[in-house]
Structure 1
Amino acid sequence: MNVELITLEDLQQFKTELIHELMQVLNQPTQQAKQWLKSAEVRKLLNISPGTLQNLRINGTLRFTKIGGIMFYKAADIYKMLEGDDAG
């Protein structure tokens, strides 16, 4: 069994590296946009009812993916629809 001693200098170096990495994380944009949204988030974002969201799904205006009974929508598709650029 090998025993490795950790010195005060090792701890100081670890602390410096940890602080440096935390600063990098904290300096990134604070709110990264979510790529996928659940139905409730989409309804709140668009200020629409569950029925309206269902109609958007049925008529193909808004694509979705269903995973385990939960429907997910690509945020990019929603923003594209809002911009009126869904003709592509």
Structure 2
Amino acid sequence: MAIEVITREDLNEFGTKLLADISAMLNTKPAEQKQWLKSNEVRKILNISPGTLQNLRVNGTITYTKIGGILFYSSADLNKVLESNKVDASVSLFNPKWLVR
């Protein structure tokens, strides 16, 4: 049974390699997001029914493109809609707005 001695230089080298690996993982770009989504993909992402998606189209909340009977939705437009309807989470059960004077 051989005993290995780990020196400070070994630990410094390990730390440098570890930081380089972590940095490389953080700097990698995420997978490309599809530019155009079909109705079923949008429904899955938003977890909504076909009728709700139709209502969002009819009232102009979500823009779409129709080609040959297939509806396509821009992922950039969907992200804009989600961002524009974001609700601030500053109100909590322990500090409701209506109790603050």
Identity %: 66
**Considering only CA atoms, is the larger Rg found in Structure 1 or Structure 2?**
2
Q: Which sections of structure 2, spanning at least 5 residues, go unmatched?
A: 1-27, 86-101
Count the aligned residue pairs: 58
Map Cα deviations across residues 40-84 of structure 1 (whole Å, 9 max, x no partner). Answer: 000000000000000000000000000111000000010111112
What CA deviation, in whole Å up to 9, does each residue of 1:3-46 have, x standing for no partner?
xxxxxxxxxxxxxxxxxxxxxxxxx8462110000000000000
TM-score, normalization by structure 1: 0.61
Instruction: Give the direction of change, closer, same or farther, for the CA distance of 1:30–1:55 in structure 2 (3 Å limit).
Output: same
Cross-structure match for 1:33 = 33
Aligned partners of 1:68 and 1:39: how far apart in 2? Answer: 14
Higher RCO (Cα < 8 Å, 6 or more apart): 1
Alpha-carbon distance in structure 1 between the residues aligned to 2:50 and 2:63: 15
Q: Give the superposed CA RMSD.
A: 1.5
TM-score w.r.t. structure 2 length?
0.54
List structure 1 runs of 4+ shifted beyond 4 angstroms.
none
